[in-house]
Amino acid sequence: MFTSTWMYWVLLSTTDPSINCTSNHHSGVSGPCEPSELDEAPCPPDSVLNDEEECVCATGRCLEPVCRYGSKRVLQRTGSGVPGDCCDVFECVLPREKDCEDVVCPEEGRECPLDSYRLPSHRAPGDCCSVPQGCQCLPAPCPVANCSPGSYARVVRPGSEKPGTCCPLFECVPIVSDPDNWALANWALGRLGTRLVDSDDSSSNVDAMAANPTPRTPWSFLVVFSPAELRPST
């Protein structure tokens, strides 16, 4: 008989505002954001924070698979009740003729990163053991960097849509308050149809400053906000 197994591991995820830079302002801590604040969730996807700021299992995030084609749901492993291992693991198994009673199957493998979940395992016809299918990025949207006034979000590492680096990693970088910086940034953003701040400098003055850069000209600022042709030649 055809045999098929479906390993099920449910990990639901929601965007948690505590993983972005907003938490710094609630706690009264000033300064740029730390990359780690934007890269790690406070709890595993199968658990939530309680009132004591501790991770506890959330039973609503664990779902049992719906078995089809005459297969039966079989409990393979019971969750331990510890965040990260809250959910039971089930198999959907069709009747089989092969005697697999004495077969020892390999373990599932390492756990998936927090930004991903394990795909259902697959069992080929006539096999006793399931084959792990690896990890896949969670379908939830990536967290957005929320930087304090006077700073902007810069990409430290772009997202690769691969487990472990599914989402981009940001850091908050202070914006230099030099008036020339603001004027030059406005001129650069004007090329893109917007402005950063109001400036008293005329466009001709800003154009002249861009055409004749000085040691005070914020080229690193321009590299972030302006087209490639605005970068200085080396």
Condensed to tens digits (0 to 9), the pLDDT of residues 31-85 reads: 455 544 444 568 888 899 999 999 999 988 888 888 887 788 889 889 999 998 9
pLDDT of residue 168: 93
CB burial string 205-214: b at 16+ within 10 A, e below: ebeebbeeee
Write out pLDDT tens, residues 135-174. Answer: 999 988 888 888 888 888 999 999 999 999 999 999 999 9
Q: Which of the two residues, 212 and 3, has the higher pLDDT score? A: 212
Number of domains observed in the structure of the chain? 2
For residues 79 and 86, the answer to whether their CB atoms sit within 8 Å is yes
Looking at the fold, whether 136 and 195 belong to one and the same domain comes out as no
Domain end among 174, 194, 219: 174
Looking at the fold, whether 203 and 143 belong to one and the same domain comes out as no
Looking at the fold, whether 22 and 105 belong to one and the same domain comes out as yes
Looking at the fold, whether 124 and 185 belong to one and the same domain comes out as no
pLDDT band at 97; cut points 50, 70, 90 = low
pLDDT of residue 20: 43
Looking at the fold, whether 58 and 68 belong to one and the same domain comes out as yes
Looking at the fold, whether 206 and 194 belong to one and the same domain comes out as yes
Looking at the fold, whether 215 and 161 belong to one and the same domain comes out as no
Looking at the fold, whether 101 and 196 belong to one and the same domain comes out as no
Q: Which helix (H) or strand (E) holds 135?
A: strand 135-137
Looking at the fold, whether 144 and 34 belong to one and the same domain comes out as yes
Domain end among 174, 193, 218: 174
Looking at the fold, whether 75 and 89 belong to one and the same domain comes out as yes
Looking at the fold, whether 169 and 182 belong to one and the same domain comes out as no
CA angle (63, 64, 65) in 5-degree steps:
120
What's the predicted TM-score (pTM) here?
0.34
Residues 135, 14, 5, 100: is their CA dihedral positive or negative?
Answer: positive
pLDDT of residue 178: 57
- Least confident window among 8-12, 50-54, 202-206: 8-12
Looking at the fold, whether 89 and 115 belong to one and the same domain comes out as yes
Q: Which residues pair with 49 in a beta bridge?
A: 55
Name the residue range of residue 218's domain.
175-230
